[in-house]
Amino acid sequence: MFLSDQVFRRERRVTFTTRAPLAITPGSSDPIEDASTIDISESGVRIRLRRPIEPGQIVELFFSKRPERCEVIWTKVDQSTRDLIAGLKFVSPLPERGRPRPVPSTGSEAAN
Instruction: Name the residue ranges covered by the structural domains of the chain.
Output: 15-95
- 15-95, superfamily in CATH? predicted glycosyltransferase like domains (2.40.10.220)
Q: What is the Cα–Cα distance from 30 to 80, expressed in whole angstroms?
A: 28
Residue 3 DSSP one-character state: H
Contact 47, 88 (CB under 8 A): yes
Task: Say yes or no to pLDDT of 111 above 90.
Answer: no
The reported pTM is 0.72
Q: What is the structure's pLDDT at 47? A: 96
Out of 4-18, 34-48, 89-103, pick the least confident. 89-103
- Of 60, 55, 57, which Cα lies nearest the Cα of 35? 60
When pLDDT is averaged across residues 27-38 and rounded to a whole number, the result is 83
Q: Helix or strand or coil: residue 47?
A: strand
The CA-CA-CA angle for residues 53, 103, 99, to 5°, reads 50
Contact 72, 79 (CB under 8 A): no
pLDDT tens digit string along 53-103?
999 999 999 988 888 999 999 999 999 999 999 999 999 876 553 555 554
